[in-house]
Amino acid sequence: MQRAQAAARIAALTDELHEHAYRYYALDAPTISDAEYDRRMRELESLEREWPALIRPDSPTRRVGAAPQPGFTPFPHPAPMLSLQNAFSDEELREYDERVRKGLATAGPVEYVAEPKLDGVAIELVYRRGLLEAASTRGDGLVGETVTDNARTIKSVPLKLRAQAGAALPDELVLRGEAIIHKAAFERLNRQREEAGEPSFANPRNAAAGSLRQLDSRVTARRPLEVMLYAPGLDVPGLDSQLALLEWMRAVGFRVNPLSRLCRGPDEVLQAYRELLARRHDLPYEIDGLVVKVNRFAAQRALGEISRSPRWAIAYKFPAVQETTRVEDILVQVGRTGVLTPVAALRPVRVGGVEVSRATLHNQDEIDRKDVRVGDTVVIQRAGDVIPEVVAVIREKRVGDPPRYRLPDTCPACGGRAVREEDEAAKRCSNMACPAQLRERLLHFASREGLDIQGLGEKLVAQLVERGLVRDAADLYALDLPRLAGLERLGEKSAQNLLAQLAASRARPLGRFLFALGIRHVGEHVAGLLAEAFGGLEALAAADEEALQAVPGVGPEVAGSVRAFFAEPANLRALARLRAAGVEPQAPARPGPRGTGAARPLEGKTAVLTGTLATLDRRAAKQLLGALGAKVTGSVSRKTDLLVAGESPGSKLAEAERLGVRVVDEAGLLALAREAGLEPPAP
């Protein structure tokens, strides 16, 4: 065979195999047998071995997987991957519909698309000129992990998209969906693992997450992953609705959920919910609710977003799966704030595909209300299909008259006095030196959302506390190889890695440092608001409650908690020790607290980021825009005042130009910052 003939045959086989894969995975309507498909695949493999220079980038033979990678590369999302708000009742769904109609200023019924909420792991796919270029996990919503080689092994992820008449493929296409494993495939996978002496996966979601995040994509290739798409990461030109998007994605080669449907108004949404709930256990894959999206993209843009959730979508969660089991004991856990939480130790039982042996009892009031006693048979559920809890006691099955349970008056971890304030349901250990609190505080301090000290897990923290090596967070920075050498299961390389992580954590952003401190009522989002508003730890510590409440999103409870934290001498001493240890949190890209007279030329304006900037990552660019006074959103609309466009800006740039929105590049943004007297973050 001559080169030209080989090239023609390779091209024909590649296109033909893509067509058959589309019919099999996207349409569920194959036109050839598996054996015939395999014969053509083997012919293509043979030709590619003979003519390696002719292998096409979209060859289906690339699905076999590549050599192991040393680690995951961070992947900044072109637009944030937001989380959905939840509804748990018909009333909450109707209240959501009222908010939508109010936001759109309409009295008529709103068009929604109701889609099954797949119970898997989110994935983002990037295509350029119709070819798969990149794939990533959700990560923290702003930055994910690059899993491109793994995605190439998933047969329902097309390597090349199908062109459609009258709807040209955009040069850049970013789409999002869910990686799942079907129930039957999950059972087969677990049987194979048991036969090989490997531990079983707890449920299909965990199996999908573990399979997608393999450093060796050849392992992913052997796992039965499938991907269904449901959302754009960037606007797709020419499409004006969610329903049109789903139809278009299926036409160009993706699998979309065939149970998605158009609903007019909340009554039709609730009917779709009830029908899907009735079919839940008969479906071949796990679902845990119904996602309800406003259909028209123009309406979505008008509704916008709140914090990390869109106003134009909500998840109506299914009732949790319930089971019955026996309470073997009631234990007490001590959290980082000293709260004593009663936990039921259960006879193990599987709930929604997960083995459960512990369930929260919340507090003494809940124990009294439900009258939970050791030995009782109880109904348990995974609240929101996640957190196990005791729902009720089956009194008819109680044997004898076991004593009522009371939380202890002393902390089980340290023996300190446990007290309950008049206005609280919780009972707390009053001993600030309590080792259980210290362990939990250190784990919180080192968490991914905090200072992200990788390698500082539960077992290592327990050893550090038990051996007296660490009495507070500042002691972590005094650790060295000699001190770590005597710890169990910690080799020299792991110890060196931990020390490197500790060194890097000295200069984390201020918002993450504030979250890591564990100030009561200050979560990740509020910590970011405080960091942006005050710009430095000293300014925040000096702020009174009035100044704190002036920050949008900070109410009296948060303000009082922050003020109390900085008024406590022990906390001030702990902060001083951290500073002495070289911990210097990085201020956001603004000069200081509100009201200092700093120029904010974009005050009250709305800005959007698109494309890749040369020197600023997305977090830094958002911080800089915030320092200039702008609110940063994820999509371009008539309310957008400024678009910051980097390389490969996609459809947002075209939309901004169409609407007459001001567009600047990275240099323009940095110039704005300098004019305002701001020092841009270092590249």
Q: How many CA atoms within 13 Å lie on the side-chain side of 495?
A: 15
**Pairwise CA distance, residues 211 & 511, whole Å:** 33
DSSP E strand stretches across 441-528: none
Q: Which residues pair with 303 in a beta bridge?
A: none
**Pairwise CA distance, residues 11 & 338, whole Å:** 66
Cα angle value 418/419/423 (rounded, 5°): 150
**Pairwise CA distance, residues 277 & 279, whole Å:** 5
**Pairwise CA distance, residues 669 & 680, whole Å:** 9
- What are the φ and ψ backbone dihedral angles of 87, each rounded to 5 degrees? -120, 145
Q: Is 76 in a helix, a strand, or coil?
A: strand
Q: Is the alpha carbon torsion for 58, 61, 63, 68 positive or negative?
A: negative
DSSP 61: G
Q: How many CA atoms within 13 Å lie on the side-chain side of 3?
A: 4
DSSP 639: T
Q: Which helix (H) or strand (E) holds 30?
A: none
Which listed residue (117, 155, 317, 427) is catalytic? 117
117 is catalytic: yes
Cα angle value 143/147/149 (rounded, 5°): 155
Q: Which residues pair with 160 in a beta bridge?
A: 131
* Position 524, amino acid: E
| Residue 29: how many other CB atoms lie within 10 Å | 8
Q: Is 617 in a helix, a strand, or coil?
A: coil
Please check whether residue 254 is in contact with residue 229, taking contact to mean a CB–CB distance below 8 angstroms.
Answer: yes
The residue written with tokens 């079983």 in the block is: 200
Please check whether residue 363 is in contact with residue 342, taking contact to mean a CB–CB distance below 8 angstroms.
Answer: yes
Point out the residues that are catalytic. 117
